[in-house]
């Protein structure tokens, strides 16, 4: 009996954002943890565009009395508007209220999030080094402002390997468009190609080619893959040092295995209606629905053994009309991120999962040269920003660090992004000083030149 199988060309080029490309990120040769880990996976909620700390989690009452006060601004490399001259302070258009046992002040639009504040550590001392979106995003994601280096998730993949051999170790859940800088934000850089992040589609089926072609059975696929493997292995013998070829060979095997598991992980229909509603899925806010789906999918992915999941939410670059723009973003993320924390806690996953929320930089307390009224917005500001963490090993229900009275710059527990990276690796059992890869004639690491732990964040 002749077995009908897809052609080799079909298999090679049927990938794109399908199973073939996903598999490249899942082959692992783990280096292993360097010390006892406090968590085994991470969900990074990336707010692309630079959310304003002043208008979310770091209120500045002093701006109320300074509102519309003009002042002469000195040149500051940490802000986007490099011109000196006449500027004026602007107060936040939002109201704040205390939440949790510590009475931490947060924007009142965070209605659901106020219920999970006690599970969060707010860090107000983080400092970036760039006010340009692509370079700041590269820095936050890869430790290098100029791109080309491995992403945080790629380093974690390289260091710890995979928990589930049938799924990628590093998955990215983009918004409707990619962030500035594109796919370089989840690149494997100089690490082997198997450690690159795997983006899932934001609309339609998250993964293309998840099921075999019509009329092709699993046994027939197995025969085809065996033939493909033998041909590629023969080619590899002639090119033994070709790492990308080795990754490509294994990618087809993983794609075959994923067909049995990935459909189940991605199928949100198996969730209870009350769970979907908790994440904002099916509600009237379409943005919340989309973000809720990504947050719920993030929970399901780490539950299934994915090490690092990045959820990207765009739209935070509010140079003007910040009340409308930030207000819409806050309403869209409120239910999803609160449900994610609550869901992880309910299932016990929060004890072994680090959840991080933050953007590439903060925003300034003044409005630059733009008009007043409803047009109020804020400039980029790398000297002051707020992020928050939750989960294993983090000092929850607390505030670490502080900015000055106007929110212009950090003044307490101030640390650069490289220290933040070092701390995240530490929580996952990895030592930045030991997690190295020889490239271009020297040993390289995520922090670039080394960093220190932000011990105030740790239990």
Q: What is the mean pLDDT of residues 84-102?
A: 89
pLDDT at 84 over 60: no
Q: Note the pLDDT of residue 246.
A: 67
Q: Cβ neighbours of residue 159 under 8 Å, at least 6 residues apart?
A: 30, 31, 32, 33, 425, 428, 430, 435
Q: Is the pLDDT of residue 402 over 50?
A: yes
pLDDT at 78 over 90: no
Is it the case that residue 347 has pLDDT exceeding 60? Answer: yes
Q: CA-CA distance, 86 to 356, in Å (whole number)?
A: 37
Q: Given a cut of 60, is residue 13 above it in pLDDT? A: no
Is residue 361 very low, low, confident or very high in pLDDT (cuts 50, 70, 90)?
very high
- pLDDT of res. 85: 62
Rounded mean pLDDT of the chain? 87
What ranges make up the beta strands (E) of 334-430? 353-358, 362-363, 380-381, 385-391, 398-400, 402-403, 410-412, 415-416
pLDDT at position 77 = 65
What pLDDT does 304 receive?
96
Q: Give me the pLDDT at residue 117, please.
A: 98
Average pLDDT rounded to a whole number, residues 366-390 = 84
pTM: 0.88
Range with the poorest average pLDDT among 236-240, 251-255, 363-367, 439-443: 251-255
Q: Are strands 353-358 and 70-73 parallel, antiparallel or unpaired?
A: unpaired
Q: Inform me whether the pLDDT recorded for 21 exceeds 60.
A: no
pLDDT tens, 22-38?
Answer: 444 444 456 789 999 99
**Would you place residue 251 in the very low, low, confident or very high pLDDT band (cuts 50, 70, 90)?**
low
Q: Which pLDDT does position 399 carry in this prediction?
A: 98
**Phi, psi torsion values for 153, nearest 5 degrees:** -65, -35
What percentage of the chain exceeds 70 in pLDDT?
A: 82
Q: Which of these ranges, 186-190, 214-218, 351-355, 445-449, has the smallest mean pLDDT? A: 214-218
Which element (helix H / strand E) includes 70? strand 70-73
Statement: residue 370 has pLDDT above 90: no
How many CB atoms lie under 10 A from the CB of residue 227?
Answer: 13
Instruction: Give per-residue pLDDT as tens, 101-127.
Output: 999 999 999 999 999 999 999 999 999
Mean pLDDT for the stretch of residues 55-69: 96
Contact assessment for residue 157 and residue 307, using Cβ atoms and an 8 Å cutoff:
yes
pLDDT over 50 at 6, yes or no: no
pLDDT band at residue 376 using 50, 70 and 90 as cut-offs: confident
Percent residues over pLDDT 90 in the chain: 69
- Tell me what pLDDT residue 156 has: 98
Structure tokens at 298: 């993030």
Tens-digit pLDDT profile for residues 150-164? 999 999 999 999 898
Digit-coded pLDDT (tens) for 214-250: 777 777 767 776 777 677 777 777 777 666 666 666 6
Q: Say if residue 372's pLDDT is above 70.
A: no
- pLDDT tier at 211 (50, 70, 90 boundaries)? low
302 or 220, greater pLDDT: 302
Distance CA 38, CA 352 (A): 7
pLDDT at residue number 252: 60
Q: Would you list the domain boundaries of the chain?
A: 8-114+131-427+435-457
């Amino acid at each position: 009996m002749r077995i009908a199988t897809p052609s080799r060309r079909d298999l090679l080029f049927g990938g794109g954002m399908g199973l073939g490309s996903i598999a490249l990120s899942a082959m692992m040769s783990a280096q292993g943890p360097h010390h006892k880990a406090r968590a085994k996976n991470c969900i990074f909620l990336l707010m692309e565009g630079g959310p304003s700390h002043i208008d979310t989690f770091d209120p500045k009452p002093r701006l109320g009395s300074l509102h519309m006060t003009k002042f002469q601004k000195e040149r500051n490399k940490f802000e986007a508007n490099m011109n000196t001259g006449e500027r004026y302070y602007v107060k936040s258009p939002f109201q704040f209220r205390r939440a949790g046992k510590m009475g931490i002040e947060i924007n009142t639009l965070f209605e659901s999030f106020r219920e999970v504040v006690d599970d969060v550590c707010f860090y107000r001392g983080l400092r970036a080094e760039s006010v340009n979106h692509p370079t700041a995003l590269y820095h936050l994601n890869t430790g290098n402002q100029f791109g080309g280096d491995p992403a945080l998730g790629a380093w974690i993949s390289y260091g710890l390997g995979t928990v589930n051999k049938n799924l990628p170790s590093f998955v990215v859940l983009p918004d409707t468009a990619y962030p500035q800088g594109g796919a370089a934000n989840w690149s494997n850089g100089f690490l082997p190609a198997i450690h690159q992040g795997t983006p899932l589609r934001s609309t339609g089926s998250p993964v293309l080619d998840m099921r075999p072609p019509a009329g092709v059975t699993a046994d027939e696929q197995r025969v085809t893959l065996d033939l493909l493997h033998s041909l590629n292995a023969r080619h590899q013998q002639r090119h033994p040092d070709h790492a990308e070829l080795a990754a490509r060979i294994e990618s087809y095997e993983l794609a075959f295995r994923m067909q049995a598991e990935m459909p189940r992980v991605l199928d949100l229909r198996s969730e209870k209606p009350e769970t979907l509603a908790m994440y904002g899925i099916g509600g009237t806010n379409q943005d919340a629905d989309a973000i809720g789906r990504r947050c719920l999918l993030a929970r399901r992915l780490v539950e299934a053994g994915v090490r690092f999941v990045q959820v990207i939410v765009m739209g935070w670059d509010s140079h003007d009309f910040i009340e409308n723009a930030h207000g819409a973003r806050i309403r869209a993320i409120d239910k999803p991120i609160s449900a994610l924390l609550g869901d992880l806690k309910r299932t016990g996953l929060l004890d072994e999962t680090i959840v991080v929320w933050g953007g590439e930089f903060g925003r300034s307390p003044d409005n630059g040269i733009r008009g007043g009224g409803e047009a109020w917005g804020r400039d980029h500001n790398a000297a002051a920003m707020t992020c928050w963490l939750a989960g294993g090993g983090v000092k929850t229900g607390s505030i670490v660090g502080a900015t000055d009275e106007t929110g212009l710059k950090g003044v307490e527990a101030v640390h650069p992004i490289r220290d933040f990276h070092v701390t995240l690796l530490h929580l996952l059992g990895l030592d930045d000083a030991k997690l190295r890869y020889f490239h271009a004639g020297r040993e390289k690491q995520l922090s670039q030149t080394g960093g220190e732990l932000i011990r105030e964040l740790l239990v």
